[in-house]
C-alpha cells in the first residue's frame, strides 16, 4: 500500500487527486494539508468525498509528510521547490503538479514564474512526467514534474510526427481551448460564471507559460529545435481541452502519418487513436485519464491537422500524476484510473 500525502488539497487538482485516490486499491491518503482550512474536515468542504476521504485538513509540516511514501504538491508555483529537498532527503518521492520541476531552462523559468529557482539540484535530476515519452526515467525518479494540461494535449498530438520526421519542426501551430477549471479554484473576475458563460475568447496572445515547456519537450522528441505558434482560448465549460494542431508535412510524409501515430501509441493505455474520419470531442474524455486523437490530411496532402482532446483535471493534471505514481511504485499503470468518459 502506497502512503500518500497531498499538499494543497482545496484546489481543483487537490480534490481531483482525492477523488481518484479514494478509489485506488493500492493507495492510502495519509495526510492532506491546507493552511487556510486547517482543522476542517474534507467532507465539509467537498461533500462528494464524504465517507470516502475521512480526513481533516492539517497545516503543512515536515513531520507529517516524511511519513509518506510519496507527496503530491497541488499548490501554486514556487511551493514544491521550497519543501522538496527535505522530503527527498527523507526518502519521500515528490510529484509536483505545478511548474517547479518542469522546465530545465532556468532563464525561461524566471521569465514565466518570477522568483529564482531555489532547488536547482533537484531540478537537474527531476523527470518530466509524460509517461508516453519518459516512462523508463519515471520508474526510478525521486522528483517528477507533472506536465501542464495544454502541454500534455499538444505534446501528445505532435510527438509521433516529430519522432518520425514527418513534419517540418518550424511549422507547428497549436490552437487550443480549455475549460474554466484550468484557471484554478479562485476568486477572479475573468472566470466567474457571468463572464465565462455564453462567451468564448482567446487569451495569452502575448505569450503563455506552457509555451516554453512544450517547445522544450518537443525539441527533445524531434532531436533539434522546433518553432511553435500557440494560442490558448477559454471555453464556457468546466472541464476539457481540445487542441487543434497544424503542421506542414515533409516530402513523402503523407502516406505515413497514421502509421506513425499507431506505432508511437500502440502500447499506451491512455491514448486512443481514433479510426480514420473520426475526431474526438471534450465530452468523450470528461472525468477520464484518456487522451483521444484524430488526424486529417489537408486536401493537397501537404499538411496535417491533429485533434487532441483530454480532461484538463485528469490526464492534464491529477490523473496523470497518479499514473506517474503507479509507474514509480511498480504498480499497474492503469490502477485507479480505469474510469471512462461521462456522457452526456
Edge-to-edge strands, sheet with 291-297:
201-202, 228-234, 172-178, 241-248, 303-310, 291-297, 271-273
pLDDT of residue 141: 98
Same domain, 193 and 143: no
What's 114's domain CATH number?
A: 3.40.50.720
pLDDT of residue 193: 74
Q: Is residue 334 part of a domain?
A: no
Q: Is the pLDDT of residue 290 over 80?
A: yes
Same domain, 76 and 204: no
Angle at 208 between CA 162 and CA 181, to 5 degrees: 100
Strand partners, 309: 242, 292
The grid coordinates of residue 120 equal 536547482
The grid coordinates of residue 315 equal 490526464
pLDDT of residue 147: 98
Radius of gyration of the chain (CA): 20
Q: Is residue 92 part of a domain?
A: yes
Same domain, 184 and 53: no
pLDDT of residue 196: 80
Q: Is residue 339 part of a domain?
A: no
Q: Which of 36-40, 58-62, 130-134 has the highest mean predicted lDDT (pLDDT)?
A: 130-134
Find the mean pLDDT for residues 291-319: 97
User: DSSP string spanning 232-272?
Assistant: EEE-SSSS-EEEEEEEEBPTT-GGGHHHHHHHHTTT-TTEE
Q: What crossing angle do the helices spanning 210-222 and 149-163 adopt, rounded to 10°?
A: 20
pLDDT tens for each residue of 320-339: 999 999 999 999 999 999 99
Question: Has 291 been annotated as catalytic?
Answer: no
pLDDT tens for each residue of 8-56: 989 999 999 999 999 999 999 999 999 888 889 999 999 999 999 999 9
DSSP E strands: which ranges in 9-161?
Answer: 27-33, 70-73, 93-96, 127-128, 143-145
Question: Which residue matches cell numbers 496535417?
Answer: 304
Q: Is the pLDDT of residue 344 over 80?
A: yes
Same domain, 167 and 110: no
Query: Cβ–Cβ contacts within 10 Å for residue 332, how many?
Result: 13
Q: Is residue 261 part of a domain?
A: yes
Give me the torsion for CA of 319, 280, 181, 333, rounded to 10°: 0
Angle at 205 between CA 201 and CA 206, to 5 degrees: 150
pLDDT tens for each residue of 160-200: 999 999 999 999 999 999 998 887 777 777 777 778 888 88
Task: State the distance between the two ends of the chain, measured CA to CA, in whole angstroms.
Answer: 35
Is residue 250 a contact partner of residue 165, using CB atoms and an 8 Å limit? yes
Same domain, 169 and 280: yes
Q: Is residue 172 part of a domain?
A: yes
Note down the domain range covering 209: 150-312
Find the mean pLDDT for residues 65-85: 95
Is residue 322 a contact partner of residue 336, using CB atoms and an 8 Å limit? yes
Find the mean pLDDT for residues 292-303: 96
- Total domains in the chain come to 2
What phi, psi does 338 have (nearest 5°)?
A: -90, 5
What's 280's domain CATH number?
A: 3.30.360.10
pLDDT tens for each residue of 234-263: 999 999 999 999 999 998 888 899 999 999
Name the average pLDDT for the chain.
94
Same domain, 67 and 163: no
Q: Is residue 336 part of a domain?
A: no
Amino acid at each position: 500500500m502506497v502512503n500518500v500525502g497531498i499538499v494543497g488539497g482545496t484546489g481543483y487538482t487537490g480534490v481531483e487527486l482525492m477523488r481518484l485516490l479514494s478509489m485506488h486499491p493500492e493507495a492510502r491518503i495519509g495526510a492532506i494539508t491546507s493552511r487556510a482550512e486547517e482543522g476542517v474536515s474534507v467532507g465539509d468542504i467537498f461533500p462528494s468525498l464524504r465517507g470516502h476521504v475521512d480526513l481533516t485538513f492539517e497545516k503543512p509540516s515536515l513531520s507529517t509528510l516524511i511519513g509518506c511514501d510519496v507527496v503530491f504538491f497541488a499548490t501554486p508555483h514556487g511551493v514544491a521547490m521550497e519543501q522538496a529537498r527535505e522530503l527527498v532527503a527523507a526518502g519521500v518521492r515528490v510529484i509536483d503538479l505545478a511548474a517547479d520541476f518542469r522546465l530545465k531552462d532556468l532563464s525561461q523559468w524566471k521569465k514565466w514564474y518570477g522568483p529564482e529557482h531555489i532547488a536547482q539540484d533537484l531540478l537537474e535530476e527531476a523527470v518530466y512526467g509524460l509517461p508516453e515519452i519518459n516512462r523508463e526515467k519515471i520508474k526510478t525518479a525521486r522528483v517528477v514534474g507533472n506536465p501542464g494540461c495544454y502541454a500534455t494535449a499538444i505534446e501528445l498530438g505532435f510527438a509521433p510526427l516529430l519522432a518520425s520526421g514527418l513534419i517540418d519542426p518550424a511549422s507547428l501551430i497549436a490552437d487550443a481551448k480549455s475549460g474554466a477549471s484550468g484557471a484554478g479554484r479562485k476568486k477572479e473576475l475573468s472566470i466567474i460564471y457571468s463572464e465565462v458563460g455564453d462567451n468564448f475568447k482567446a487569451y495569452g496572445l502575448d505569450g503563455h507559460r506552457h509555451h516554453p515547456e512544450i517547445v522544450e519537450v518537443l525539441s527533445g522528441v524531434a532531436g533539434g529545435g522546433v518553432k511553435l505558434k500557440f494560442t490558448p482560448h477559454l471555453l464556457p465549460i468546466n472541464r476539457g481541452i481540445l487542441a487543434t494542431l497544424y503542421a506542414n508535412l515533409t516530402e513523402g510524409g503523407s502516406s505515413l502519418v497514421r502509421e506513425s501515430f499507431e506505432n508511437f501509441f500502440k502500447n499506451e493505455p491512455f491514448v486512443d487513436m481514433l479510426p480514420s474520419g473520426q475526431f474526438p470531442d471534450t465530452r468523450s474524455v470528461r472525468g477520464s485519464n484518456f487522451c483521444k486523437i484524430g488526424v486529417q490530411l489537408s486536401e493537397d496532402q501537404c499538411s496535417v491537422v491533429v485533434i487532441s482532446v483530454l480532461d484538463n483535471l485528469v490526464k492534464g493534471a491529477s490523473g496523470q500524476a497518479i499514473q506517474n505514481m503507479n509507474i514509480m511504485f511498480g504498480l499497474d499503470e492503469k490502477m485507479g484510473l480505469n474510469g471512462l468518459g461521462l456522457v452526456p
